Amino acid sequence: MTRMQRFAASHFFAFPIGALVALIWANSQPETYFVFARAWSFPVNDIGMVVFFALVTAEIVDAVSPGGALHTWRRMTLPFVAAVGGMIGATLAYFAYLRTGDELSVLSRGWPVAGAVDLVVGYVLVRGIFRRHAAIPFFLLLGVAADLCGAVVVELLYPVAERHLAGVALIAAGVGIAVAFRRAGATSSWPFVVIAGASSWWGFFLSGLHPAFALVPIIPFIVGHGAGRSTMSREDGLSRFDRIWSVPSQVGLLLFALVNAGVMFKDIGTATKAVTIAALAGKPLGMLAAAGVAIACGLHLPRGVGRRELVVVALASSTACSFGLFLATAAIAPGPVLAETKVGALMTVGGALLALTAARVLRIGRFSPKPASKRTGHESARRSAAPRSLAGV
């Protein structure tokens, strides 16, 4: 199991539990819920989620390090192209749906939400369908790329406050401090988080960028040993960071769901339908189209991943839930538009049902009449199960 997979597995229960409690609370005692959510919005969304995104960044750093899944451009190209295709497909579907009504101008900010991929829910889903298969890391790479695109788009287009140049200087100072720590040979992650991270957080806050991403530019400087470190060493800075912050990150994700997933069912509206349709139809179609073009241009799917598996992976990636909620709260100010969009993000959990149905109809993974390892080849199954198994991606 790779570190990315462990990350997804360890965080799986946090979001559904928090979301379920929030939904029940918001629909039974809305006033107390929204007072609570408003009071905790800043500490959870802008501070607590820093840890979560730091760990996601650590996974990405891991993946692009030598031996990692994204190391060398050839490996990252196809899932990246598919992710961009998914985003384009979701965006086109979102706006196409809105053009059938008269709320396009008011709801236009919600489009990045549909392009998000819930890595945690999606991972457990594809894991449940494929068990051990190259489709799993392919899904994770695709999801990371999609969320990265979504985060960049939201940060660039929808800053949470007015931009101040002083913020950029503070971010630069934070990165400079991190570089200095690394050159000084600091192996503990604490100086990076407490000193460089604090400067970066304040810089993000002032610059109008979302402070939850404050550790994203800092994490790459925490010394790690690449993708193999989970088996080679448990004592490098990034691994220690991972161990220290894993549980707080799960708590953060649970609180994030509790604070943000509480929507009233009556808030289903045009944005809800637009996000749901865009995520469940536009995104997988866009992914498949982009992947088809990429394959026609000479790129290759991972060994063991065929067209049928690709369809199921694309549908599994249509669940936007947690990251969709994050992008919604980052891009849209409080009010009915945000509420409608959030309901849409939560309803994309229906993508799980679509993926399961597709897997059953296409008879792949656990629904295959033969063991997956025999059909896809013993070699590919063995490769996909190992930490450095993404050579085919």
Considering only residues 301-340, where is the footprint of another protein by CB under 8 A? 332-339
> Between 166 and 333, whose beta carbon lies closer to another protein?
333
168 with 207: CB under 8 angstroms?
yes
- Stretch in the footprint of another protein (CB under 8 A) among 12-20, 98-106, 166-174, 189-197: 98-106
- For another protein (CB under 8 A), the number of binding residues is 23
Quick check: helix, strand or coil at residue 83?
A: helix
**Tokens coding 381:** 């199954």
Site string for another protein, 138-177 (x = CB under 8 A): -----------------------x----------------
Q: Which residue has the tokens 């349709």?
A: 277
Q: Which residue has the tokens 């979701």?
A: 90
> Between 207 and 380, whose beta carbon lies closer to another protein?
207
203 with 258: CB under 8 angstroms?
no
Q: Following CA atoms 356, 357, 360, 365 in sequence, which dihedral angle do they give, to the nearest 10 degrees?
A: -20
- Stretch in the footprint of another protein (CB under 8 A) among 30-38, 189-197, 216-224, 385-393: 30-38
Site string for another protein, 262-281 (x = CB under 8 A): --x-x--xx-----------
CA distance 384 to 392: 9
Q: Is 28 in the site for another protein (CB under 8 A)?
A: no
> Between 266 and 300, whose beta carbon lies closer to another protein?
266
Quick check: helix, strand or coil at residue 369?
A: coil
> Between 249 and 341, whose beta carbon lies closer to another protein?
341
Backbone angles phi, psi at 262, to 5 degrees: -75, 95
CA distance 47 to 201: 9
Cβ of residue 31: shortest distance to another protein, in angstroms? 6
Cβ of residue 261: shortest distance to another protein, in angstroms? 13
Cβ of residue 348: shortest distance to another protein, in angstroms? 21
What's the DSSP call for residue 261? S
Pick the binder of another protein from 1, 13, 92, 103 (CB under 8 A): 103
Cβ of residue 275: shortest distance to another protein, in angstroms? 15
Amino acid at 360: R
Q: Report the 3 state secondary structure along 86-151.
A: HHHHHHHHHHHHHCCCCCHHHHHHHHHHHCCCCHHHHHHHHHHHHCCCCHHHHHHHHHHHHHHHHH
Site string for another protein, 36-75 (x = CB under 8 A): -xx-------------------------------------
Q: Is 24 in the site for another protein (CB under 8 A)?
A: no
CA distance 266 to 283: 26
- Stretch in the footprint of another protein (CB under 8 A) among 97-105, 245-253, 281-289, 294-302: 97-105
105 with 279: CB under 8 angstroms?
no
Interacting residue ranges for another protein, rule: CB under 8 A: 30-31, 34-35, 37-38, 102-103, 105-106, 161, 264, 266, 269-270, 332-339
